[in-house]
Structure 1
Amino acid sequence: MKDHEPRIAVIGAGISGLVLAAALHQQGIRTAVFEQAGQLFPTGAGIQLSPNAVRLLHRLGLEARLRQHAVRPRAIRMTNWDDGHPLATTPLAGPCEERYGAPYLTVHRADLHAALLEQLPMGTLRLGARCLALDEREDGVRLEFADGLSYDADLVVGADGIRSVVRSQLFPDRPRFSGQGMYRGLVPADRVPRFAADPRVQLWLGPGQHCVAYPVSGGRTISFAAGVPAPDWRTESWTQPGRKEDLLAAYTGWDDELLGLLSAADEVTCWALHDRDPLDHLVQGRFVLIGDAAHSMLPFLAQGANQAVEDAAVLADCLIRTSELPAALGRYEMQRLPRANEVQRRARANNDRLHLADGEARQQRDRELAARQGLESHDWLFAYEAVPERQPDAPGGGGTDPAAAASGIRGRVALITGAARGIGFAVARALAQHGARVVLTDLDQDGLDEAVKALADEGQQAAGYRLDVQDSGAVAATVEAVEQEVGPVDILVNVAGVLHTGPVAEFDDAHWQQTFAVNAFGVFCVSREATRRMAERERGVVVTVASNAGTVPRIHMAAYGASKAASVHFTKVLGLELAGRGIRCNVVSPGSTRTPMLEQVQHNGSEGTIRGDLAGYRTGIPLRRIAEPEDVASAVVFLASDEARHITMHELSVDGGAALGA
Structure 2
Amino acid sequence: MAVANGTSKTQPEVGYPSQSTALLERIHRSHQYVGEEQDSIHQPQVKLRILVVGAGLGGLATAVALARQGNEVTVLEQAASLGEVGAGIQIPPNSARLLLKWGIGPYLEQYAIKPDSMTFRRWENGEPIGYTKLDSDFAETYGAPYFVIHRADFHRALHSLAAKLGVEVITGSRVTDYDEAIPSASTSDGRQYTADLIVAADGVKSRARPVVLGGQDPPPQRTGFAAYRAVVYSKDMKDDNDTAWLLERPGINIWYVINITSPPDTVPH
TM-score range, shorter chain: 0.7 to 0.9
1:56 aligns with 2:107: no
1:131 aligns with 2:172: no
Report the equivalent of 1:199: 250
Matched to 1:357, the amino acid is I
CA distances 1:93-123 after superposition (whole Å, capped 9, x unpaired): 2121011011111110110111111112366
Matches of 1:83 and 1:27, distance apart in 2: 51
Report the equivalent of 2:227: 182
CA distances 1:292-333 after superposition (whole Å, capped 9, x unpaired): xxxxxxxxxxxxxxxxxxxxxxxxxxxxxxxxxxxxxxxxxx
Contact 1:21–1:30 (CA<8 Å) still a contact in 2?
no
Report the equivalent of 1:599: none
Cα RMSD (Å) = 1.9
Contact 2:72–2:167 (CA<8 Å) still a contact in 1?
no
Question: Tell me, what secondary structure is at the counterpart of 2:72?
Answer: coil
Report the equivalent of 1:141: 183
Alpha carbons of structure 1 residues 360 and 197: separation in structure 2 relative to 1, 3 Å: farther
Q: What's the CA shift for 1:28?
A: 2.2
1:91 aligns with 2:133: yes
Matches of 2:131 and 2:262, distance apart in 1: 22
Report the equivalent of 1:43: 85
**1:549-628 matches, cutoff 5 A:** none
Matches of 2:119 and 2:205, distance apart in 1: 33
Q: What's the CA shift for 1:143?
A: 1.3
Q: What's the CA shift for 1:128?
A: 0.6
Q: What's the CA shift for 1:2?
A: 3.8
Higher helix content, 1 or 2: 1
Matches of 1:201 and 1:176, distance apart in 2: 31
Matches of 2:251 and 2:262, distance apart in 1: 28
Alpha carbons of structure 1 residues 123 and 106: separation in structure 2 relative to 1, 3 Å: closer
CA distances 1:223-272 after superposition (whole Å, capped 9, x unpaired): xxxxxxxxxxxxxxxxxxxxxxxxxxxxxxxxxxxxxxxxxxxxxxxxxx
Report the equivalent of 1:604: none
Q: What's the CA shift for 1:183?
A: 1.7
Matches of 2:63 and 2:131, distance apart in 1: 37
Alpha carbons of structure 1 residues 168 and 109: separation in structure 2 relative to 1, 3 Å: farther
Q: What stretches of structure 1 move > 6 A for 4+ residues in a row?
A: none
Matched to 1:133, the amino acid is D
Report the equivalent of 2:10: none
Report the equivalent of 2:39: none
CA distances 1:45-82 after superposition (whole Å, capped 9, x unpaired): 11111111111111111001001001111111111110
Report the equivalent of 2:260: 357
Report the equivalent of 2:31: none
Report the equivalent of 2:109: 67
Q: What's the CA shift for 1:188?
A: 0.7
Matches of 1:80 and 1:359, distance apart in 2: 18
Q: What's the CA shift for 1:185?
A: 0.9
Report the equivalent of 1:23: 65
CA distances 1:322-364 after superposition (whole Å, capped 9, x unpaired): xxxxxxxxxxxxxxxxxxxxxxxxxxxxxxxxxx414699xxx
Matched to 2:65, the amino acid is A
Q: What's the CA shift for 1:44?
A: 0.7
Question: Tell me, what secondary structure is at the counterpart of 2:71?
Answer: coil
Using structure 2 for the length normalisation, give the TM-score.
0.74
Contact 2:73–2:167 (CA<8 Å) still a contact in 1?
no
Alpha carbons of structure 1 residues 183 and 168: separation in structure 2 relative to 1, 3 Å: same
Matches of 2:261 and 2:126, distance apart in 1: 15
1:162 aligns with 2:204: yes
Question: Tell me, what secondary structure is at the counterpart of 1:147?
Answer: coil
CA distances 1:467-514 after superposition (whole Å, capped 9, x unpaired): xxxxxxxxxxxxxxxxxxxxxxxxxxxxxxxxxxxxxxxxxxxxxxxx
Contact 1:206–1:357 (CA<8 Å) still a contact in 2?
no
Q: Percent identity over the alignment?
A: 35
Matches of 1:168 and 1:54, distance apart in 2: 34
Matched to 2:219, the amino acid is R
Matches of 2:106 and 2:150, distance apart in 1: 15
Alpha carbons of structure 1 residues 2 and 65: separation in structure 2 relative to 1, 3 Å: closer
Report the equivalent of 1:151: 193
Report the equivalent of 1:120: 162
Q: What's the CA shift for 1:173?
A: 2.6
**1:623-642 matches, cutoff 5 A:** none
**1:341-380 matches, cutoff 5 A:** 356-358=259-261
Report the equivalent of 1:7: 49
Contact 1:48–1:107 (CA<8 Å) still a contact in 2?
yes
Q: What's the CA shift for 1:174?
A: 2.1
Q: What's the CA shift for 1:199?
A: 1.8
Matches of 1:190 and 1:358, distance apart in 2: 38
Question: Tell me, what secondary structure is at the counterpart of 1:79?
Answer: strand
Matched to 2:173, the amino acid is A
Report the equivalent of 2:118: 76
Matched to 2:222, the amino acid is F
Matches of 2:218 and 2:262, distance apart in 1: 37
CA distances 1:18-42 after superposition (whole Å, capped 9, x unpaired): 1121122223222010000011110
Question: Tell me, what secondary structure is at the counterpart of 1:165?
Answer: coil
Matches of 2:45 and 2:103, distance apart in 1: 27
Which structure's relative contact order is higher, taking Cα pairs within 8 Å and 6+ residues apart? 2
Rg comparison, structure with higher value: 1
Matched to 1:206, the amino acid is V
Alpha carbons of structure 1 residues 154 and 80: separation in structure 2 relative to 1, 3 Å: same
Report the equivalent of 1:110: 152
Equivalent pairs counted in the alignment come to: 211
Matched to 2:174, the amino acid is R
